Amino acid sequence: MMEFCPKCGSIMVPVKKGKQVYLKCPKCGYTRSKAPKSLKLEEKVKHEKVLVIEKDETNLPVTEKICPKCGHNKAWWWVQQTRSADEPPTQFFKCTKCGYVWREY
């Protein structure tokens, strides 16, 4: 059963103060001191499992490119449009050894 605020017409929500439960309008603040007897306020906490990834796995293509930081010769690469549509896209590289990221225009 839903109750509506007599002042503004919004849906009244149950609020618990101590042991007493009453209805309050979230829009205008109107309160009804006595809530219906059938009203029960419960709080349920839903616990979700968190997935922990221990290893950084990258699903990008690999090319032979010399890293400017460590000198390693393999890097992941991807292309991204960083400027306006009439400009060519930017090619990014990430070293497979040290993780350094650089770009070429």
Residue numbers annotated as active site: 86-87
Q: How many CB atoms lie within 10 A of CB 10?
A: 13
Quick check: 53 and 36 in contact, CB under 8 A? no
CB neighbour list of residue 74: distance below 8 Å, 6 or more residues apart: 62, 63, 64, 65, 95, 96, 97
3-state secondary structure of 32: strand
